[in-house]
Amino acid sequence: MTTEPSNSLLQGQVSTTVETEEPPAKTLERGYIGQPILRREDKRLVQGLGTFFDDVRRHGMGYVHFVRSPYAHARILSIDVTKALELDGVYGTLTGDEVAIHTDPFFEMSVEPGGLIKDYALAVGRVRHMGEPVAAVCAATRELARDAADLVEVEYEPLPVLVDAVESLKDETVLHDEAGSNVVWSGVFDWGDVDQALAEADHVVKIERLHFHRFSSTPLECAGALVEYDKGTSEWTLHCNHQMPGVGAIWMAPALRTGIDKLRFVTQDIGGGFGNKVCLHPQYVVLCLMARKLGRPVQWTEWRTDQHTANAHGNERTFFDVEVAVLADGTMTGFKVRALDDCGAFPRYEPLGCIIWAQVAPGMYSWRNIRVDFTQVCTNKSPVSPNRGYSRMQHLWLTERIIDIVASELGLDPVEVRKKNYVKAEQMPYKTPNGCVYDSGDYAAALDIALDLIDSGSIEERRKEAAERGKLLGFGIGSTLDSGTNNFGQSTLLNPDLQFSGNNEAASVKLDIFGEVVVTLGTVPQGQGHETTAAQVVADILGCPPEQVNVRRGHDTWFNSHAGFSGTYASQFAFTGLGAVKGAAELVREDMVQLAAAVLQAPVEAIELADGFARIKDGPEEAALPFMALGAIVNANNAFLPPDFNPTLNHRYVCRPYFGMVDTEKKTGQLTLTYAIQIHAAVVEVDPETGVVEIVDYAAVDDCGVRINPMIVEGQVHGATTHAIGAALSEEFVYDEEGTLLTANFYDYHVPHALDMPPLKTGAMESPSPVAPLGAKGMGEGGGGGIHCIGAAIQDALKAAGNAIVYDSCNPPHRVWSMLQDPESTRANVSVESK
């Protein structure tokens, strides 16, 4: 069923809403929810009046520049800051020795040996990746700090460099002596009986090696903070762009030997996060120490080269010895694989990546027998952080590659094989082999929408036409899941001693004395429009126009509307963030209704909230109280209320999703609650003379359940698609043997610009989530849909020119050309054993 979108904003873009048979279980009556309400954030942002951390100034502030290691692996023999301190205008320095005295190493999540790694805010005794901060200098101007950094003398003794995970596994060079091994974590996940499935299979398809490459979302605003220290109260204030302050504080407070409440995180506008602003705690601890040591506010701005070199890559994962069990009719019954993850020099948020993928262990498919032998190692590369699609994207790419390679080798149609093996709509909610529950979705229907948008029926005709122009045309599908609302208990599957489980998010709503509704969020938006969507939800609950709802910008510890896991990450705002907003708004609503009933002398059931008034349903006009009246009574004129009636019109609510416990032995459990999906389809043309790939047609179909603001959802789909296109065709963090990052700036690390973009068509479905407070699933990460379908399309294009197998998630022209020149060595990767 196709309906033309009613809103002119979506004109020109095909959008489809498919009605489900059952009405959503827990949604509100939709007034503003579901409307493409324009964003209120825009007003300040289009005038350049946003406040990003670097816009904040403090009198007497100093600027910090980090002295960074030029070696990928070396012992630090000495650091001499004398000359730097002599430079006029330099306020002070900080070195690793001081850090080791004044702080404790950061909390590590892994079991031994990985858990024994000592990670300090500055390198202590040894550097383990190029660009690692070794010392910090603070000066009166940015330029002086930079000059002073050049005067810090560091003596290094180079050590052997590890830039390959397989090499690292040998433990010949060990990066962390305390651990004694480069292995951060390893374990086997075994569900069902894959050996049986392989024995019974009609075909066993083997793939020796698949490689998911290292890249990141490179948010346009780099990391940074301005930190103030209050000597009187021993409190720090960080004006920053940390996207997960709850967790940041958990790392920083023990390291600084202080209480969590002594760290006030204030974020305002943030220029993109995408998971790359989660592990900022080392640099922030340096700033905290310097602010205290120097007795002045200190500020650090990360530059682009620093971000690429030393902050936050996505996980790089190599898959070995894949074996897939396939029946004669194309049903895939299981697979096994050995996964080797490279987390760079320090784990930090890792080894969570070693389990997060299990949220989507079977991908979108119904096979029941899966074994993953997973190992994560350190190398002398930049540490990783949860880049958009974190760990699921890598695994989903594996499942999509499996589907396409099996289809290709066995002569099956990739569309039919997907529809055959997809989890079916009638199976929802679907429990996966490892206990996760896919809440809702009709994958086949979404695929059909994508195929329709891309006019898949005309592919063969277009292939012929392209061939006449000397181009190889290919068509590919990428199905991907956007799992959202994490159960942090999954961390105990990696380390049973961890005291983490569940999830939470907080928000507060109040009705002020003049009738203003004020909302504070625990989340930390970096462009997702939380202010607007929160206002929509509150407006619907309280019965007022969204314009009457003021949502405070950003996160502030002192708002006290955050919880331990607060932040914006893991596709969960629509569930936990809005769940908290809903909860708080409903508590305020309850107060308002009770108060109005008391004032209007009517039963509670007779009161309705609408148009900014509390009034008697179908009552006389005078029986209506504007919000202002309610606010005034409670705040300033409350004497007449009876003693046992104490409405506050001010409530904080914690949304705590319920997961149940996980089974650490079987490594099963409900690891996440919602599963949005995206189905991507791409048509590419490959120039066989150069390997250049052009995307000539592209469709992305999204189903994230109830869309609170369809306009914002579509924007997220555009953005996720673009990140994926960049990753699929050009964005790659490449190292040489010395551990030098060869793609450290936007010349060499090419991201899509306006002219690089293909025509993008989008479609949408709504399969409301039965478990989410508003039927809305978290979305936005996109799961790398473009990476999957572009690789598939390239492989399809190359079928006519050597039939190479796409084995890497990034295929720039030189790699495509290699596949054209020597398809055989890629094909040697794959073998089929048939009964």
Q: Give me the amino acid identity at 196.
A: Q
Q: Which of 59/231 has CB closer to other proteins?
A: 59
Q: Is 526 in the site for other proteins (CB under 8 A)?
A: yes
Least spacing, CB of residue 722 vs other proteins, in Å: 4
Question: Does 747 sit near other proteins (CB under 8 A)?
Answer: yes
Alpha-carbon distance 809 to 787, whole Å? 6
The rounded distance, in Å, linking the Cα atoms of 356 and 589 is 37
Rounded-to-integer distance, Cα 758 and Cα 683, Å: 10
User: What 3-state class would DSSP assign to 362?
Assistant: coil
Is residue 527 near other proteins by the rule CB under 8 A? yes
By CB under 8 A, residue 748 contacts other proteins? yes
Site string for other proteins, 588-617 (x = CB under 8 A): ------------------------------
Cα gap 700→718, rounded to integer Å? 8
Here's the x/- map for other proteins, 183-222, by CB under 8 A: it reads as: ----------------------------------xxxxxx
Piece of 16-24, 99-107, 327-335, 806-814 that binds other proteins (CB under 8 A): 806-814
Q: How far is the CB of 761 from other proteins (least distance, A)?
A: 8
Cβ atoms of residues 511 and 517 within 8 Å: yes
Q: Does 761 bind other proteins (CB under 8 A)?
A: yes
Out of 4, 55, 86, 177, name the contact with other proteins by CB under 8 A.
55
Min dist CB 719 to other proteins, Å, is 5
Contact residue for other proteins among 20, 26, 35, 50 (CB under 8 A): 50
Tokens (6 digits) for 40: 């209120």
Locate 190 and state its tokens: 């075994």
The answer to whether 760 contacts other proteins (rule: CB under 8 A) is yes
Specify the pairing of strand 62-68 against strand 153-158.
unpaired
Which residue number, 520 or 730, has a Cβ lying nearer to other proteins? 730
Rounded to an integer, what distance in angstroms lies between the CA atom of residue 281 and that of residue 106? 9
Give CA–CA dist 437/815, Å, rounded: 38
Chain CA centroid to CA 664, Å = 25
Backbone angles phi, psi at 138, to 5 degrees: -120, 135
Tell me how far apart the alpha carbons of residues 577 and 674 are, in angstroms, rounded to a whole number: 14
Residue 753 binding other proteins, by CB under 8 A: yes
Name the phi and psi angles at 48, rounded to 5: 70, 25
What angle, rounded to 10 degrees, do the helices at 245-255 and 281-294 form? 50
In the bound state with other proteins, the residue whose beta carbon lies nearer, of 409 and 808, is 808
What is the spatial distance between Cα 190 and Cα 184, in angstroms, rounded to a whole number? 20
Q: Among the candidate windows 86-94, 199-207, 759-767, 789-797, which touches other proteins by CB under 8 A?
A: 759-767
* Smaller CB separation from other proteins, 143 or 155: 143
User: Of 648 and 690, which has the nearer Cβ to other proteins?
Assistant: 690
Among 108, 132, 190, 269, binds other proteins (CB under 8 A): 269
Instruction: Kindly identify the residues of this chain, within the stretch 296-315, that bind other proteins according to CB under 8 A.
Output: 301, 303-305
Give 81's strand partners: none
Query: From the CB of 222, what's the least distance to other proteins, in Å?
Result: 8
Residue 203: count other Cβ atoms within 10 Å of its Cβ. Answer: 18
At its nearest, how many Å lie between other proteins and the CB of residue 756?
5
Q: 207, 19 in Cβ contact below 8 A?
A: no
552 binds other proteins (CB under 8 A): no
Helix (H) or strand (E) holding 230: strand 224-230
171 within 8 A of 103, measured Cβ to Cβ: no
* Positions 147 through 166 that interact with other proteins (CB under 8 A): 147, 150
Residue 38 CB, shortest distance to other proteins, in Å, is 6
- Judge if the upstream peptide bond of residue 386 is cis by omega within 30 degrees of 0: no
Q: If you write DSSP's letter for every residue of 543-563 in order, what string do you get?
A: TS-GGGEEE--S-BGGGT---
Size of the site for other proteins (CB under 8 A): 84
462, containing H or E segment: helix 459-468
Comparing CB distances to other proteins, the nearer of 446 and 524 is 524
Q: How far is the CB of 301 from other proteins (least distance, A)?
A: 8
H/E stretch holding 509: strand 505-511
Q: Between 706 and 745, how does the x/- string for binding to other proteins read (CB under 8 A)?
A: -----xx-xxx-xx-xxx------x-x-x-------xx-x
Site for other proteins in 68-87 (CB under 8 A): none
Which of 75, 83, 142, 617 touches other proteins by CB under 8 A? 142
Residue (45 or 188) nearer to other proteins, CB = 45
Choosing from 9, 174, 598, 606, the residue that interacts with other proteins (CB under 8 A) is 9
> What does the DSSP assignment read for 602-656?
--GGGEEEETTEEEETT--TTSEEEHHHHHHHHHH--TTS-TT----SEEEEEE-
- DSSP state letter for 573: I
Cβ contact 11:684 at 8 Å: no
Which residue stretch of 108-116, 127-135, 267-275, 601-609 sits at the interface with other proteins (rule: CB under 8 A)? 267-275
- Would you give the binding string for other proteins spanning residues 218-257, x where CB under 8 A is met? xxxxx-----------------------------------
Name residues contacting other proteins, limited to 675-694 (CB under 8 A).
689-690, 692
3-state secondary structure of 83: helix
Decide: is 801 part of the binding site for other proteins (CB under 8 A): no
> According to CB under 8 A, which one of 47, 233, 499, 601 is a site residue for other proteins?
47
Q: Which of residues 26-45 bind other proteins (CB under 8 A)?
A: 36, 38-39, 41-45
Binding residue for other proteins, selected from 31, 52, 113, 629, defined by CB under 8 A: 52
Q: Which is nearer to other proteins, 149 or 294 (CB)?
A: 149
Q: Does residue 833 belong to the site contacting other proteins (CB under 8 A)?
A: no
Rounded distance between C-alpha atoms, residue 452 and residue 443, angstroms: 14
- Using the contact rule CB under 8 A, the part of the chain among 81-89, 477-485, 520-528, 648-656 near other proteins is 520-528
Site string for other proteins, 341-370 (x = CB under 8 A): ------------------------------
Are 338 and 172 in contact, with CB atoms under 8 Å apart? no
CA distance 365 to 358: 13
Tell me the C-alpha distance between 595 and 601, whole Å: 10
CA distance 590 to 219: 41
Phi and psi, residue 720, nearest 5°: -65, -40
Nearer to other proteins, 567 or 583 (CB): 567
Only segment of 20-28, 154-162, 269-277, 310-318 that touches other proteins (CB under 8 A): 269-277
CB-wise, 640 or 747, nearer to other proteins?
747
CB of 304: closest distance to other proteins in angstroms?
4
Query: Rounded to whole angstroms, how far apart are CA atoms 800 and 699?
Result: 24
The least distance separating other proteins from the CB of residue 105, rounded to whole angstroms, comes to: 30
Indicate whether 814 belongs to the interface with other proteins (CB under 8 A).
yes
Tokens of 481: 């899941």
Minimum gap (Å) between residue 649 Cβ and other proteins: 31
Contact pick of 410, 467, 641, 757 for other proteins (by CB under 8 A): 757
Residue in this structure with the two tokens 């898959």, named with its chain if needed: 319
Of the pair 113, 715, the CB lying nearest other proteins is at 715
Please answer whether residues 106 and 247 qualify as being in contact, where contact means their C-beta atoms are separated by less than 8 angstroms: no
- Whose CA is closest to 481, among 145, 248, 705? 705
DSSP 8-state code for residue 457: G
Cis ω for the linkage preceding 351 (within 30 of 0): yes
Token pair 């991907």 is at which residue? 480
The nearest distance, CB 545 to other proteins, in angstroms, is 17
User: At residue 796, what are phi and psi to the nearest 5 degrees?
Assistant: -65, -40
User: What's the closest the beta carbon of residue 814 comes to other proteins, in angstroms?
Assistant: 4
Give the binding range for other proteins (CB under 8 A) out of 281-289, 392-400, 523-531, 607-615. Answer: 523-531
